[in-house]
Structures are given as structure tokens and as C-alpha cells.
Amino acid sequence: MKTRFTRLALAMLVGSLLAPGISIGAEEIQARTIRFGHLNNTDHPISAAVKKFGEIIAAKSGGKMQVKEFPSNQLGTEQQQTSALQGGVQEMQSPATTSLVGLIADYGVLDFPLTVSTHAQAFSFVDGPLGSALLEKLPEKGLVGLGYWDLGFRNVTNSKRPIQRVEDLAGLKLRVIPNPVYLETFTAMKANPVPMSFSELYTALETKTVDGQENPFAVIRSNKFYEVQKYVSATNHVYSTNVILVSKKFWDKLSPTEQKIMKDAFVEARDYQRKVSVEAAKNSVDALKAAGMEFNEISPAEQDRMRQVVKPVVDKFLASYSPAIQKLFASEAARVQAMK
């Protein structure tokens, strides 16, 4: 009888440990503060996602793990924050992938023009094998990458004419960021690209020093370029994304349970952020129209024409990467471009 009772008690104990809702890893969750820095203002979709990420982390950890947001470069520039993550004095950040090129050159392939034309293509591209391969390069640099959030497509505005065909860019003096790929891309499309700091841009547009510029819709709206530009065209010529980074020194201190909480919370926050970001872009277009700008779409056929025009630029820069990255980029680009 005693033996039967012992077996029953043991079975009940094992069953309780394995029952849903009772985590055998609960003791593996410690009180932690996660400092999450980024360059965006608190009204930006990135900030909204950081808050959502924090809410999910707190809920999943029973309130033990707390995310503290530091927006607007409060913790320094993106490069300074990356160094802080490497040193273990900051836990998380969400830099644009462009700021990682100096650390991991292969991230430059994400800046190539006209690789993707829609958000569906863009999300599939960065979530696919190429995006994963790039994340795998981070740990050796003292970083852990959870994945990618949406920053958006860059689009052309100008004061002279709508851009409906690649020929419409010819002769336009456009401010671009000082990036060799951007400069050669617009040169290939017969525009006159002018590298210029962002702080000088509004005045340059106002005085007609340049005819136009290229930025995501939300940036165009928030900086009131509609006051000095007439036309906005959905060229979608470059897709930009943020990579969500964790300090490897911090990550290695986490238990498997805590790491899983962060991974799961990232996925939920990513899906939320992308919806908010896409909606913000749509709202920005509506606001630009209401402010008097003339908006026009670019047809898929014309996107394909633009892609062919800039292909020599892509091929030139791609040749500087390893054969493995070249092959992966080519296969992934072909895959997502075939998506409808």
C-alpha cells in the first residue's frame, strides 16, 4: 500500500512540473533592467515597438525583467551605442543596418537599390536566409541580433515634376546621403546626386540649391519638406531596416528561459512594429497630399525598368563581397522579386 502511495505521489509531482502554466524555469528568471536605446523620437514606430517589447517582456517574466527606453540618442549615436553593447554597459539598441557596415561590411548588401519593391517582399527578404546569415556574423563582434524591424522605403521628392519613369529623374539635382551606392545609383538614372548633410537639406530645398531629395514618407512629413517641394513619388528605390541588437555580454548572462522570453517577445513586437510602421507611412502620404503635394505611384513595370538601369551598379558593388554572400544575395533577390 505504501509503495502504491509513493508511486502515486511521485506521478503527481512529475505531472505538476510538466503541466501547462507551471514553468520549471520560473526560478531561472532574475530581476533585470534592460536599457534599450535608439535615435528616434517617442512618436516614431520604433519607439512604439520598444514600449510594446517592454510590455511583453514584463508580462512573460512576471514583472522581473523590465525594459527602460532611451530614445532620441540619449545614450549616444548609433555607433556609440553599439560600442556600449559590445562593452556590456548597455543591453539593447535598434540601429539602422547602414550604421553596422563599418563593423560588418556584409550588411551593405541590404542597401542595394531596388532589391525589393513592396513591404511583403522586404519582410520576406530580411527574414530569410540572407538576413539570418548576417545575424550570425554578429556574435563574433560582441553582439546578438534578434531580427529586423521596419524603417521603410526611401522615396523621391522634387520641385520640378512627378517621377513616373526613370527618364523623369534625368537632370534633377537630388540630395542623397554620402553613400557610394546611393551616389552611383542616381548617377546611373541620369540624375545629379549631391551628397549633403541632413541638417542643411531644408534650406537647400528652399533656396533651390537642389531640386529634390529622397527619404521615407514619415521623414518627409515630419521635416515639413511639403513646404518647399511640390512632387512626391513612390519610387521605393531603397528599403531600410533596423536590426535589433543585444549585448552578447548581457545575453550570455541570461538563462535559457530568459533568452526564450526575449526571443518570443521580439517576434510579437516585430509584427506589431511592422503594422504600425506601414500604417504610419500611409498616414504620412495622406498628410503630404493634404499639405498640397502631388503624389504618384510607380508602376511595377517601371520598377523593373529602374531595376535594370541600376543593375550594373549592384553588380559592381556586389563583386566586392565574398562569393557566399554574392550567391545568397542573388538567390534571395530573385526569390522575393518573383513574389506577387
Quick one: pLDDT at residue 27? 66
Alpha helices by DSSP H, listed for the chain, are: 2-18, 45-60, 78-87, 119-127, 129-135, 180-188, 201-206, 217-222, 248-251, 256-290, 300-318, 323-337
Domains of the chain are 30-337 (3.40.190.170)
Cell numbers found for residue 239: 528599403
CB proximity list for 84: less than 8 A, separation 6 or greater: 37, 75, 76, 90, 93, 247
User: Residue 34's beta-bridge partner residues?
Assistant: 67
Task: Dihedral sign for Cα 86, 90, 94, 99, please.
Answer: negative
Q: Cα(87)–Cα(81) distance, rounded to whole angstroms?
A: 10
Q: How would you write the pLDDT of the chain (340 residues) with one tens digit per residue?
A: 444 444 544 444 444 444 444 344 556 899 999 999 999 889 889 999 999 999 999 999 999 999 999 999 999 999 999 999 999 999 999 999 989 999 999 999 999 999 999 999 999 999 999 999 999 999 999 999 999 999 999 999 999 999 999 999 999 999 998 889 999 999 999 999 999 988 899 999 999 999 999 999 988 998 899 999 999 999 999 999 999 999 999 999 999 999 999 999 999 999 999 999 999 999 999 999 999 999 999 999 999 999 999 999 999 999 999 999 999 999 999 999 999 7
Q: Angle, to 10 degrees, between the axis of helix 323-337 and the axis of helix 300-318?
A: 180
Quick one: pLDDT at residue 13? 45
Q: Cα(45)–Cα(39) distance, rounded to whole angstroms?
A: 12
Q: Cα(247)–Cα(83) distance, rounded to whole angstroms?
A: 9
Alpha helices by DSSP H, listed for 208-255, are: 217-222, 248-251
Q: Which phi and psi angles does 67 have, rounded to 5°?
A: -100, 130
Cell numbers found for residue 224: 515639413
Quick one: pLDDT at residue 119? 95
